[in-house]
């Protein structure tokens, strides 16, 4: 089973979005051309709404396919006030009563193809690689409150408060990510008052730390919370963790990765496996699949290529590799 997405990704370009579909269809066609006797059915799914764009929720297609969309999700709306429920009805996709489309172990192998928007593959000059882990995020919603006691004329060494605390927490998170080769970040930052030359007395933000190792993530998170407590005292401000949410990491099939290595070697491609910071369709389709895999596809010049920058040989190589992986899973 091949899973791919056609999505709205800022600056991705139409060719980036269509690459997984081209490779998926090409790989299936290659199987057909070889007249193999298949012991398993090969299917193709195209997921939309993978990134949290229109309805502010990611993986809407795969969540719905495995029955993980609930009634509350159906009342999500886009910027124009259109409900997800109404859009589903409009497209004749059925409502939650028709979910799930798939049930446990309906699918033997789910292989997801994604475009590499990072430029990672361009760096190593390879057209395709496999993903080992999708790192599970833990997200803290943090509030920092202090007093406005300074202006832009106050010497730096005398300044204490929310802005210093926020900067130190940001730097500590970056240090943790760099030392442990993890993903994460800080976003949805709001500072008040929004007055030029006046330091904020209130800062709200989300802190995101991701790791495929739950034990390591827990240890680093506890250390970070202790650091936040220390900074609260040093900067004479109140720091509260208002909310904490987390998702488990997703680990892909070792068997599929081993099969892919043979295909890479066959076509003289350096076999590389990487971790990604996202939780995508594979995370949800694993609920109905016996094994899952994920391949990243790239261009010579990274994301947003012009048509003339697309390397046809790279696409052919990717088709050949994916076809070899499929062949191992579906043929006698």
Quote the domain boundaries for residue 184: 136-246
pLDDT tens for each residue of 255-300: 999 999 999 999 999 999 998 877 788 888 999 999 999 999 986 5
Q: Can you tell me the distance from the alpha carbon of 282 to that of 298, in angstroms, rounded to the nearest whole number?
A: 19
* Confidence grade of residue 306 (pLDDT, cut at 50, 70, 90): low
**Token pair of 109, please?**
């192998």
Same-domain status, 166 and 236: yes
Confidence at residue 172, expressed as pLDDT on a 0 to 100 scale: 98
Same-domain status, 34 and 146: no
User: pTM of the full predicted structure?
Assistant: 0.79
Same-domain status, 196 and 150: yes
Q: Which of 126, 105, 82, 131 is nearest to 294 (CA)?
A: 131
Same-domain status, 202 and 58: no
User: Residues 6 or more apart from 80 whose CB is under 8 A from it?
Assistant: none
What angle (nearest 5°) sits at the alpha carbon of residue 97, between those of residues 292 and 92?
85
Gyration radius (Cα) of the chain, Å: 23
Report how many domains make up the chain.
2
Q: What percent of the chain has pLDDT over 70?
A: 85
Same-domain status, 47 and 76: yes
Instruction: Strand 202-211: give its sheet, edge to edge.
Output: 183-192, 202-211, 136-145, 238-246
Q: Can you tell me the distance from the alpha carbon of 257 to that of 129, in angstroms, rounded to the nearest whole number?
A: 10
* Helix or strand holding residue 139 (H, E): strand 136-145
Same-domain status, 88 and 147: no
Same-domain status, 129 and 140: no
pLDDT tens for each residue of 73-84: 888 888 889 888
Confidence at residue 14, expressed as pLDDT on a 0 to 100 scale: 57
Same-domain status, 144 and 204: yes
**CATH number for the domain that contains residue 148:** 3.30.70.360
Same-domain status, 192 and 157: yes
Confidence at residue 198, expressed as pLDDT on a 0 to 100 scale: 78
Same-domain status, 287 and 184: no
Same-domain status, 101 and 164: no
Listing DSSP states for 313-331 in one string gives HHHHHHHHHHHHHHHHHHB
Average pLDDT taken over every residue of the chain = 85
pLDDT tens for each residue of 123-136: 888 999 999 999 88
* Confidence grade of residue 332 (pLDDT, cut at 50, 70, 90): low
CA 258 to chain centre: 23
CB 113 within 8 A of CB 2: yes
Residue 11 DSSP label? T
Chosen domain end from 213, 246, 279: 246
Chosen domain end from 246, 265, 292: 246
* Confidence grade of residue 95 (pLDDT, cut at 50, 70, 90): low
Least-confidence region, from 108-112, 193-197, 203-207, 283-287: 193-197
Same-domain status, 24 and 167: no
Chosen domain end from 220, 246, 272: 246
Cβ of 191: how many Cβ atoms within 10 Å?
16
Q: Can you tell me the distance from the alpha carbon of 38 to that of 32, in angstroms, rounded to the nearest whole number?
A: 10
Residue 24 DSSP label? H
Q: Can you tell me the distance from the alpha carbon of 81 to that of 75, in angstroms, rounded to the nearest whole number?
A: 10
Mean pLDDT calculated for residue range 28-52: 83
Q: Over 90: is that where the pLDDT of 3 sits? A: no
* Confidence grade of residue 2 (pLDDT, cut at 50, 70, 90): low
* Confidence grade of residue 98 (pLDDT, cut at 50, 70, 90): low
Q: Over 70: is that where the pLDDT of 138 sits? A: yes
**Token pair of 221, please?**
């998170």
Q: Can you tell me the distance from the alpha carbon of 32 to that of 139, in angstroms, rounded to the nearest whole number?
A: 45
- Where residue 211 falls (left for φ over 0; alpha for ψ -120 to 50; beta otherwise) is beta
**CATH number for the domain that contains residue 261:** 3.40.630.10
């Amino acid at each position: 089973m091949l899973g791919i997405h056609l999505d709205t990704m800022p600056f991705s370009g139409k060719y980036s979005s269509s690459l997984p579909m081209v490779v998926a269809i090409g790989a299936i066609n290659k199987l057909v051309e070889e007249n193999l006797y298949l012991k398993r059915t090969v299917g193709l799914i195209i997921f939309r709404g993978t990134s949290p764009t229109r309805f502010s929720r990611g993986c809407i297609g795969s969540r719905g396919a495995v029955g993980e969309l609930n009634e509350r999700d159906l009342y999500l709306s886009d910027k124009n006030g259109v409900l997800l429920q109404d859009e589903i009805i409009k497209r004749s996709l059925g409502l939650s009563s028709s979910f799930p489309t798939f049930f446990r172990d309906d699918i033997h192998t789910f292989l997801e193809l994604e475009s590499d928007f990072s430029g990672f593959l361009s760096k190593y000059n390879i057209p395709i690689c496999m993903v080992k882990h999708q790192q599970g995020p833990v997200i803290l919603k943090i509030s920092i409150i202090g007093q406005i006691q300074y202006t832009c004329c106050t010497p730096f060494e005398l300044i204490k408060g929310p802005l210093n605390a926020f900067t130190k927490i940001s730097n500590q998170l970056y240090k943790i990510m760099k030392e442990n080769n993890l993903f994460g970040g800080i976003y949805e930052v709001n500072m008040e008052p929004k007055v030029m030359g006046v330091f904020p007395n209130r800062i709200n933000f989300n802190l995101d730390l991701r790791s495929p190792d739950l034990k390591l993530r827990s240890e680093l998170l506890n250390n970070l919370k202790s650091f936040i407590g220390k900074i609260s005292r040093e900067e004479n401000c109140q720091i509260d963790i208002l909310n904490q949410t987390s998702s488990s990491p997703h680990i892909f099939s070792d068997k599929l990765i081993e099969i892919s290595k043979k295909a890479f070697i066959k076509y003289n491609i350096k076999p590389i496996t990487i971790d990604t910071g996202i939780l995508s369709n594979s995370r949800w389709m694993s609920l109905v699949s016996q094994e899952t895999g994920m391949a990243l596809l790239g261009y010579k010049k990274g994301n947003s290529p012009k048509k003339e920058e697309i390397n046809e040989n790279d696409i052919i190589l990717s088709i050949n590799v994916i076809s070899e992986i499929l062949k191992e899973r579906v043929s006698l």
